[in-house]
Amino acid sequence: MPDFSLSPEQESLRDLARKFARTEMTPHAAECDRAARFPEEIYRKAYDLGLMNLNVPTEFGGSGLSLLDQCLIVEELAHGCAGMTTSIIANCLALEPILLGGTSEQKERFLAPFCREYHLASFCLTEPSGGSDAGALRTRARKDGDGYVLDGEKCFITNAPHASLYTVFATVDPALRHKGVAAFVVPRSAPGVLPGKDEEKMGHRASSTSTVRFEEVRVPESDRLGPEVDGFSLAMRTLDQTRTPIGALATGIAQAALDHAAAYSLKRQTFGKAIAEHQAIQIKLANMAQAVHAARLLTWHAAWAIDHGARGTLESSIAKCFASDAALHVADEAIQTFGGYGYMKEYPVEKLLRDAKLTQIYEGANEIQRTVIARELLRAYA
């Protein structure tokens, strides 16, 4: 029988994240959203509490949490602010290729400093020309003596201006498509690493997103992750791990939208009674609750499957895709429940809709998730 109960340790992790979100994130969420402020003091507090680098094993000083544990935390943080959560968990995405493809020496060298003190890292895969087509990279990795020279531009890179380290995917020959992709670790201090200015975004405005240019950046061979031809697989295996927490993040947004809508419906009076007493609103809330519950269960299932050794390609895409679609829908219904007030920035629900939108796009647009799901599904019938 599946067991959905959480252990006492998991309950306390969830409580810790919930308390942090409610006391440190929620009170600043509207202001950071309005001003597009990157609240680094909050990220440092998250680090101090062990709420960053969640996937790094304890032997390197990380939290060493299971994916399910990570999802419990991420959902709670996202309830407070999705943008802040994106910035808090970006290290997990950036460091995952090192965990999956690094040697013991590389893991010790690159991961341990992250767990000794607060640092940010960025995952540099997406490019302006290729977008979702991750096999079509143009950033070149030219072999040069005992290393490589990287040249090219990445875009939509979370935390890039604040990061001290980048995991970078580049091609030794674009004609080889995915078979030419190699992965590298590049410190911010390397000459030629040029993060761009913050993009002005619709949502996730407490997070920072920019381009990064690599201009003739020298990288020693010792900083390449895995065999030269392994970069694409490493990127895909990384995303197999990290898409499930995006499902959790989307679930957190959806839960917040439901909480706001339900609480408001009990206070707001129309036609002589609380709108919660109108069936139209009850049906809305019931549908929202179903979507939140299903998103959470799919996310927990994907995390559980990966924790139990599954590759997780199918499960993580299902969780990410469903939960992000659910988040957008639930946030939309929360606005509808608030009526005209929901459209006003004075109330918290319009932010949730803007934040939910990105979860349908980043870490693989939902059209890509559906492509992945269909491919995995059809494999079983071939």
Supply the residues annotated as catalytic: 363
Q: In this structure, what token pair is assigned to residue 5? A: 């109960």
Q: Does 226 help bind ligand CAA (rule: CB under 6 A)?
A: no
Angle separating helix axes 26-35 and 67-80, nearest 10 degrees: 70
Three-class secondary structure of residue 37 per DSSP: coil
Cβ proximity of 152 and 127 under 8 Å: yes
x/- binding map, residues 71-110, to ligand CAA, per CB under 6 A?
A: ----------------------x-----------------
Helix (H), strand (E) at residue 165: strand 165-171
Taking the CA atoms of 253, 257, 260 and 262 in sequence, report the sign of the dihedral they define: negative
**Radius of gyration from C-alpha coordinates of the chain:** 21
**Binding residue for ligand CAA, selected from 240, 333, 350, 355, defined by CB under 6 A:** 240
**Binding residue for ligand CAA, selected from 51, 92, 95, 368, defined by CB under 6 A:** 368
Q: Does 237 help bind ligand CAA (rule: CB under 6 A)?
A: yes
**Binding residue for ligand CAA, selected from 158, 241, 299, 360, defined by CB under 6 A:** 158
Cα–Cα distance between 260 and 269 in angstroms, integer? 15
Residue 91: C-alpha distances to residues 16, 214, 271 (Å)? 20, 20, 50
The 8-class DSSP code of residue 205 comes to T
Cα–Cα distance between 127 and 375 in angstroms, integer? 24
Cα–Cα distance between 19 and 351 in angstroms, integer? 21
Q: Does 188 help bind ligand CAA (rule: CB under 6 A)?
A: no
Residues in region 299-328 near ligand CAA by CB under 6 A: 313
The residue whose two tokens read 């979100």 is 21
Distance of CA 20 to the CA centre of its chain: 18
x/- binding map, residues 30-69, to ligand CAA, per CB under 6 A?
A: ----------------------------------------
Q: Does 185 help bind ligand CAA (rule: CB under 6 A)?
A: no
CB of 122 to ligand CAA, least distance (A): 7
Binding span for ligand CAA by CB under 6 A among 57-65, 119-127, 181-189, 320-328: 119-127
Binding span for ligand CAA by CB under 6 A among 129-137, 140-148, 223-231, 260-268: 129-137
Cβ proximity of 367 and 320 under 8 Å: no
CB of 310 to ligand CAA, least distance (A): 11
CB of 106 to ligand CAA, least distance (A): 20
Cβ proximity of 196 and 213 under 8 Å: yes
CB of 161 to ligand CAA, least distance (A): 13
Tell me which residue of 120, 117, 70 sits closest to 90, measured CA to CA: 120
Binding span for ligand CAA by CB under 6 A among 219-227, 248-256, 277-285, 360-368: 360-368
Residue in the shown chain whose Cβ atom is closest to ligand CAA: 364
DSSP result, 324-366: HHHHHHHHHHHHHHHGGGGGSTTSTHHHHHHHHHHHTTTTS-H
Q: Does 126 help bind ligand CAA (rule: CB under 6 A)?
A: yes
Q: In this structure, what token pair is assigned to residue 381? A: 């019938």
Q: Does 356 help bind ligand CAA (rule: CB under 6 A)?
A: no
Q: In sequence order, what are the beta bridge partners of 151?
A: 140
x/- binding map, residues 204-223, to ligand CAA, per CB under 6 A?
A: --------------------
Between 23 and 132, name the residue whose CB sits nearer to ligand CAA: 132
Binding span for ligand CAA by CB under 6 A among 45-53, 259-267, 339-347, 367-375: 367-375
Q: Does 233 help bind ligand CAA (rule: CB under 6 A)?
A: yes
Pairing of strands 269-270, 273-274: antiparallel
**Binding residue for ligand CAA, selected from 88, 89, 111, 239, defined by CB under 6 A:** 239
Distance of CA 128 to the CA centre of its chain: 20
For ligand CAA, the binding residues (CB under 6 A) are: 93, 123, 125-126, 132-135, 157-158, 178, 232-233, 236-237, 239-240, 313, 362-364, 368, 371-372
